[in-house]
Amino acid sequence: MQLYAHEIKGADQYLLGVMATATVVARLVFAIPLGRLADRIGRKRVIYLVTPLWYASNLLLAFSPGPITLVLSSALTVFYSLASGITGAMALEVVPLDQQGRWSGLRGLFAGLATIPAPIIGGLIWREIGPIYVFLVPIAIDLLFRIPLLTTVRETLRGPSPGEMKAS
């Protein structure tokens, strides 16, 4: 993100610092409320709610006309990691307790295998297709794979019943 902001969008060290600060502040502001919201209305709903904000982060960065949108993009990018944390909690609730060690190992293995070629693929996309696509391709992959897969996973928390919602 910072490399793109600097090399393509012309962000200087001060703007990069403000962008990093925006990310930290957004995490501080939204992490606990989103976790509580996920506990209240369900993890899948919150993932569906925050995923468009991560898409907006990538789109704002890719098409940013100036520093304000770069800072906003940095603040919104935190929703990717927050959704990932919620997904991780959800995964642990789906996997039986006696299988969680195996699940964690397999997840780590496949994450590691994906992480090895990722910088090479990202570099090739940057050089051969264009830097903007480094931010557009993940959105496409997410829409084509993660979101459809998420629809097949059961909700791990019982959301409030209509009667409970009225009482709140």
In a domain, 102, yes or no: no
Residue 127 resides in a domain:
no
Packing angle, helices 67-76 and 78-94, rounded to 10: 10
SS in 3 state form for the chain? CHHHHHHCCCCCHHHHHHHHHHHHHHHHHHHHHHHHHHHHHCHHHHHHHHHHHHHHHHHHHHHCCCHHHHHHHHHHCHHHHHHHHHHHHHHHHHCCHHHHHHHHHHHHHHHHHHHCCHHHHHHHHHHHHCCCHHHHHHHHHHHHHHHHHHHHCCCCCCCCCHHHHHHC
The 3 state secondary structure assigned to 33-53 is: HHHHHHHHHCHHHHHHHHHHH
Q: Does 21 reside within a domain?
A: yes
Do the domain assignments include residue 110?
A: no
Domain range enclosing 39: 2-94+132-167
pLDDT tens digits, 19-34? 999 999 999 999 999 9
Q: Output the pLDDT for position 1.
A: 84
pLDDT, one tens digit for every residue, the chain (168 residues): 888 999 899 999 999 999 999 999 999 999 999 999 999 999 999 999 999 999 999 999 999 999 999 999 999 999 999 999 998 888 888 888 899 899 889 989 999 998 999 999 999 999 999 999 999 999 999 999 999 999 998 888 764 444 444 444
Whether 22 maps to a domain, the answer reads: yes
> What local confidence, expressed as pLDDT, does residue 134 receive?
95
| Residue 100 is assigned to a structural domain of this protein | no
Look at residue 73 and tell me if it is in a domain. yes
The count of structural domains within the chain is 1
pTM: 0.83
CA distance 4 to 150: 30
Q: How many CB atoms lie within 10 A of CB 53?
A: 18
Q: Please give the pLDDT value at position 163.
A: 44
